[in-house]
Amino acid sequence: MLQIKVVGSGCPNCQKLEALCKEVINENNLDAQIEKVTDVNQFADLGIFMTPGLVVNDEVVSSGKIPTKATLQGWLQEKVI
């Protein structure tokens, strides 16, 4: 199962990233769990210094931007065990 963390304060870009993750997961029938991390004190611990951030299986894959749908899909499929 993919462990996905959407890191951000809850701003519109963070919400868009979460929605995009859900969309890609549903369209590709991926077994994944999404966690929202909104506690600013945890951002640096996760390796995120710009939001929105995306952590998949404890690895930072994106920080400070929203990836395209195709890029996100590639990242998630690459991480499927």
Cβ-contact 37, 7 below 8 angstroms: yes
**Of the residues 11, 19, 34, 50, which is catalytic?**
11
Catalytic status, residue 11:
yes
**Of the residues 14, 20, 37, 48, which is catalytic?**
14
Q: Where does 1-81 show beta strands of DSSP type E?
A: 2-7, 32-37, 53-56, 59-63
How far apart, in whole angstroms, are the C-alpha atoms of residue 37 and residue 8? 6
Would you please indicate which residues are annotated as catalytic (active-site) residues? 11, 14
